[in-house]
């Protein structure tokens, strides 16, 4: 059967099962992804792939599902985290702790391009589902393995959540003010960044597999820890310490290597972000503010001088900005090339015309939530844009569709598997 015939057969079977779920669009349309991970990191990777057309099948434990379903806040008894994070995904249930469940996963893996898992190192191997087992079934499979500290090294067996990764990456140690404790981010930052890195790495592995055109091209295993992607984004810090003995300290809202860059309060009690970290931008800002004399003052003549006298410079800027409201400030500085922007909350984001024009906030009609808004798809593709087809599914909502189309199981077989607790 050629690919076109196979697509038609799947569409017909989907209609028989009562679902037409073959309408995904985007550059990854046709890519099949099994997501065994839980909570955020692996789910972020699969969410990004799903936004751009991949068929992502979320594999959940029967009865309980992904623990993310228990994260509040809730609307109509449903986790909003789940509804957004698992949009465009299909949910099946499968008990990986049983021989029957392990056999089904191997059969599903034979049909997949990518498998994402987030168990502690060694768990998949104990189930007979490690890389050797799955790559034997499907040599072209790309396997993304998420864990707190990676699959190797002395910490590999430690439990690890994103909070610990954020602390050990070096990020938290330099976040906050000198006279306050370090500050954790208010979002699962390490998990989400690891998710982005995982999605990128998965695409790299698929490119390596497919670009050669060889029928013998193989998949591979990608080892993604939670701490290393965030560590990678703290770009020069290790080299700075090694070469110059500089150990990055907390500097609040300032940027340690260039000035000015901080938050400033306007006369109407709004906060404004301002960055003028290149010489030309600083000179343009000073002129736009009507304070050209700042350019001539020796303590502000170049970046090194501005860093040494940063507090004094911030006092000058605070004095000017504190006498003007936010709109007046923006109207005066932006036309002159000033790099400024307001600190937004959710309500202000939803009102912003640029967000609206970019379709960064979209409307979804969900059976459980009704009409709701959520984040749009980014980045924007000119020829193959992604889309949000639906919000996060109910537990096992797509058992019939996936087991039917991927494995050709019928209702009687599915009923037997459900009765024995396998699905």
The catalytic residue among 35, 66, 113, 191 is: 191
DSSP 132-192: HHHHHH-TT-EEEEEESS-SSSTTTTS---HHHHHHHTSTGGGSS-TTS-----SS-HHHH
User: Which of 419, 353, 417 is CA-nearest to residue 105?
Assistant: 417
* Half-sphere exposure of residue 243: CA atoms within 13 angstroms, side-chain side: 5
Tokens of 40: 């955020």
Tokens of 422: 């396998």
CA 350 to chain centre: 21
* 143, 200, 236 from 191: Cα distances, Å: 18, 14, 22
The answer to whether residues 100 and 128 touch, using CB atoms and an 8 Å cutoff, is no
- DSSP, collapsed to helix, strand or coil, labels residue 422 as coil
Distance CA 74, CA 77 (A): 5
Distance CA 399, CA 421 (A): 13
Tokens of 262: 């901080």
To the query of whether residue 157 is one of the catalytic residues in this protein, the response is no
Please tell me what DSSP assigns to residue 300.
Answer: G
* 115, 249, 400, 418 from 129: Cα distances, Å: 11, 44, 23, 21
Distance CA 154, CA 345 (A): 42
Positions marked catalytic = 191
């Amino acid at each position: 059967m050629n690919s076109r015939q196979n697509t038609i057969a799947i569409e017909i079977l989907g209609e028989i099962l009562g679902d037409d779920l073959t309408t995904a669009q985007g550059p990854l349309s046709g890519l099949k992804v099994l997501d065994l991970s839980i909570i955020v990191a692996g789910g972020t990777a699969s969410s990004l792939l799903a936004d751009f057309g991949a068929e992502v099948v979320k594999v959940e434990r029967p009865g309980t599902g992904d623990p993310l379903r228990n994260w509040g806040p809730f609307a109509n008894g449903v986790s909003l985290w789940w509804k957004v994070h698992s949009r465009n995904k299909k949910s099946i249930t499968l008990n990986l702790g049983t021989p029957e469940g392990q056999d089904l996963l191997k059969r599903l893996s034979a049909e997949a391009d990518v498998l994402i898992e987030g168990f502690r190192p060694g768990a998949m191997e104990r189930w007979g589902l490690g890389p050797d087992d799955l790559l034997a079934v499907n040599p072209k499979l790309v396997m993304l393995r998420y864990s707190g500290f990676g699959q190797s090294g002395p910490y590999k067996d430690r439990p690890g959540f994103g909070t610990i990764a954020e602390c050990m990456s070096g990020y938290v140690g330099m976040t906050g003010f000198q006279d306050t404790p370090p500050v954790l981010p208010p979002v699962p930052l390490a998990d989400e960044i690891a998710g982005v890195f995982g999605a990128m790495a998965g695409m790299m592995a698929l490119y390596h597999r497919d670009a050669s055109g060889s029928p013998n091209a193989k998949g591979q295993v990608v080892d993604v820890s939670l701490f290393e992607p965030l560590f990678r984004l703290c770009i020069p810090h290790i080299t700075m310490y090694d070469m110059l003995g500089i150990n990055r300290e907390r500097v609040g809202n300032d940027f340690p290597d260039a000035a000015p860059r901080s938050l400033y309060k306007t006369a109407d009690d709004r906060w404004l972000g301002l960055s003028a970290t290149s010489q030309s931008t600083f000179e343009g800002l000073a002129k736009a503010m009507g304070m050209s004399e700042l350019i001539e003052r020796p303590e502000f003549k170049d970046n090194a001088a501005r860093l040494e006298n940063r507090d004094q410079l911030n006092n000058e800027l605070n004095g000017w900005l504190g006498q003007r409201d936010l709109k007046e400030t923006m109207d005066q500085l932006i036309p002159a090339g000033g790099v400024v922007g307001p600190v937004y909350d959710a309500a202000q984001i939803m009102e912003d015309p640029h967000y609206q024009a970019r379709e960064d906030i979209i409307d979804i009609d969900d059976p459980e939530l009704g009409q709701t808004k959520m984040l749009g798809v980014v980045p924007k593709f000119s020829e193959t844009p992604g889309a949000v087809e639906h919000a996060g599914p109910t537990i096992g909502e797509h058992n019939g569709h996936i087991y039917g189309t991927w494995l050709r199981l019928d209702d009687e077989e599915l009923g037997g598997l459900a009765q024995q607790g396998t699905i």
